[in-house]
Amino acid sequence: MPASWDQNKPVAVASDHGGYLLKSHLKEVLSKLGFTVEDLGTNGPDSVDYPRFAAGLAKGVAAGKYCLGVLVCGTGLGMSMTANRYRGVRAALCTSAYMARMARAHNDANVLCLGERVIGLGQAEDILKTFLDGEFEGGRHTRRIQAIEPE
């Protein structure tokens, strides 16, 4: 596990009904990689409203309760839009390992958003592992991160 993730804090995962199956799979992947995982729901395929789950996870990441978050819905769009409304949260919707690497290296992303209806299980695992292994480069990117925080 990279030094940037606080090993004393769990990883939070959450989804709506459109991301439930992928979230469940990634939860197992995270556990096998040695992470403590806290599942914030949903707990089944019944229709639910994604903002409730994204907000709960984002609030926990912003408060420092979790070392990082993983949000999954059908496309990842709604989850990323909701999570990014919270100060200190930098949620990145990634559809490739390259995007995950850049989200960490240049944007210091602390929440990974994925779309179950957009990517397959194998690709989602690759994206997750790349995100987890990524390190923020700092330097010129630090000032850019500071500039995106709301006033």
Residues acting as catalytic residues: 73, 106
- Of 31, 38, 98, nearest in space to 68 by CA: 38
Question: Tokens 């210091």 sit at which residue?
Answer: 108
Which residues have C-beta within 8 Å of that of residue 65, sequence separation ≥ 6?
A: 9, 12
Listed as own residue / partner, the contacts of 21-25 with beta carbons closer than 8 Å and 24 or more positions apart are 21/45, 21/116, 22/72, 22/114, 22/116, 22/121, 22/124, 23/70, 23/72, 23/116, 25/121, 25/124, 25/125
CA angle at 118 for the pair 114 and 122, rounded to the nearest 5°: 75
HSE of 58 in the Cβ direction (CA atoms, 13 Å)?
23
